[in-house]
Structure 1
Amino acid sequence: MEIFWILLVSSLAAVNCTLVGTYLVLRKVTMMADAITHAVLPGIVLAFLFTGSKSSLVMLLGAGSTGILASLLVAFLHQKVKLQSDASIGINFTWLFALGIVLISLFSRKVDLDPDCVLYGEVAYVPLNIWQTSSGINLGPQAVYMLGFMLLLNLAFILLNYKELAVTTFDPGFASVIGIRTHVWHYLLMAATSFTAVASFEIAGAILVVALFVVPASIAYLLTQRLSRLLILGCIIGIVIAVVGYFLAIWLDGSISGAMVTVAGILFFATWIVKKYQHRISEKLMIPLGKVFHD
């Protein structure tokens, strides 16, 4: 049963990150995912210090606020201070993440957060953190409900605003002409990234979760450029990465999240090689790979 919960939670995290990450990849702002996943740490700590609660909603609100703050600060440094965007991102995510580490060290007796778990995650502990009714009925791991709720939010956000997200992603100039506020949709996407990152912390941590945002969507982008197919194919790839990564970790007796990201990297380069040399491979194998990768 533990294997089922681990695979379910890992797959939910991969799907959530891929849905949001697809738009980050298409908008060429993938480093914002790195910035936000690090910047949300002080928000998590402050939310716990002010409320004394470790509830999922409190953590999400705290993380979302600092994630949006990081996005605003990046925009401020880039537009007002005239720093390059990569420098703006680097400055903000490092000092905000450092602030979170400092807060944890200062209030270590009050904040029940493991810095290593925040950095790398530990999905193996997911089945131990369960929800129980007052009568003692086991409802399953809390992470399942957290990620399931995030999946509903992300699906609703994308499906209800599919056209607006598509237009502001592919042609922001045209979007502005027809009255769509591109900056509003940018910050909404950054908020979704913040919430998704926090929901996935327990699985991959602040560092490795970036790969779940970027790699499945990037692999799908090698295979298709149609948005709807990108989203669906990316989610499938994310699930494959989660499942194969788990069994690789069991085989190697190593880190589960690390194995998942390793599989993601291998799958990306394998896909790129097959895509690049598909004509030669198809000639040797007599398989029409061009049709397989064609939209």
Structure 2
Amino acid sequence: MSYEAWIVLTGALVGVTCGVTGCFLILRRMAMLADAISHTVLLGIVLAFLISHSLDGIYMFIGAAIVGLLTAFFVQLLNSGGVQSDAAIGVVFTSLFAIGVILISLLAGNIHLDVDHALMGEITFIPWDTVEWFGLTGVPKAVWMLGTVLVLNVTIITLFYKELKISSFDPALAAAIGIPVLFIHYLLMGMVSVTTVASFDSVGAILVVAMLIVPGATAYLLTDKLSVMLILSGAIGVVAAVSGYYAATLLNVSISGAMATVLGLIFAIVFVLSPSHGLLSKWMMKKKYIQSKKQLQQS
């Protein structure tokens, strides 16, 4: 494959992986927790390197998953202790992320773990960082990582689809019929953590939030069926990634920034034109209601 094709493929994998996973965050109203995890996993990556002295993907996955779960645990602990959920997220997010930044500055400043790269990512370097797995050469490491995480997430969603669906829409009902709500919660947080760290090299910690939230939020406006929402969210992520790449090439701007911007534009269009939840449809329904009310009054 060409240099350009690898970049487009990597962006598309980020879009579909984050998009599918982010649907459940939207349904659970946990968008800001995704923001917190996408930043605090930096601490997990740093700790994994300091312990293993390696930047191999498996160590980063383990470190990110552990810190991601700790983030969710600390937020829930503070929330159950009387702290408002948004305040709990803010406290945990800033504290753990700040510790990660300090550790990078003190102990990991001379390696490929700089703050700017972790925050913004650089997808243009992805095609040069290749590894040989299963006899295949020349495949970027990011493609292997994202592909593995995508398969993992889809497998988990398939196996626990009913549990994820019921606990997302009605946690009380899920607990009443015996679904392990807490286990499903932390399972989802683990999915978010590994998805985030797999996306670091391409879109960075900040812009991965857009990939996790905006496709799902857009699909939510287009359908009321979860299975369709998952498909639409993944498709929107892919379209935004591919369109963002060519827009960035045309305008000579940041690729990851262009992808997130395209996501925002798609959401804005759907927010206005959605058949059932869009501003235009609501305005038309309101207009029809006013007209029918006037007709009733006149008669």
Decide: shared fold, TM above 0.5: yes
Contact 1:45–1:111 (CA under 8 A) maintained in structure 2: no
Q: Is the contact made by 1:104 and 1:111 (CA closer than 8 Å) also made in structure 2?
A: no
Matched, 1:260 2:263: no
Q: Tell me the distance in 1 between the aligned counterparts of 2:192 and 2:282.
A: 38
Counterpart position of 1:118: 118
- Higher-Rg structure is 2
Give the 5 Å matches for 1:37-76.
37-76=38-77
Partner of residue 12, structure 1: 13
TM-score by length of 2: 0.90
Give the deviation of 1:114 after TM superposition.
1.9
Residue number in structure 2 paired with 1:181: 180
SS in 2 for 1:223: coil
Aligned to 2:233: 234
Q: Which runs of structure 2 are paired with 1:1-295 in the superposition (5 Å)? A: 1-80=2-81, 82-109=82-109, 111-132=111-132, 138-275=137-274, 276-278=279-281
Conserved in 2, the CA contact under 8 Å of 1:18 and 1:212? yes
Aligned position for 1:284: none
Change (3 A) 1:279 1:75: closer
CA shift digits 1:167-212 (9 cap, x unpaired): 1111111111111121111111001100000001111111110000
Please give the secondary structure, in 2, of the residue aligned with 1:254: coil
User: What is the letter of the counterpart of residue 280 of structure 2?
Assistant: Y
- TM-score, normalised relative to structure 1: 0.91
> Residues 123-150 of structure 1: CA distance to partner in whole angstroms, max 9, x if unpaired?
11100101147x9x73310111100100
% identity of equivalent residues:
46
Q: Are the structure 2 counterparts of residues 77 and 235 from structure 1 closer, same or farther at C-alpha, using a change threshold of 3 Å?
A: same
Q: Any gaps of 5 or more consecutive residues in structure 1?
A: 282-295
Tell me which amino acid in the other structure corresponds to 2:259.
M
User: Conserved in 2, the CA contact under 8 Å of 1:6 and 1:124?
Assistant: yes
- Tell me, in whole angstroms, the C-alpha distance in 1 between the residues paired with 2:55 and 2:152: 21
RMSD: 1.7
Q: Aligned partners of 2:283 and 2:71: how far apart in 1?
A: 46
**Number of matched pairs:** 279
CA contact (8 A) 1:49 1:110 kept: no
Contact 1:6 1:126 in 2 (8 A): yes
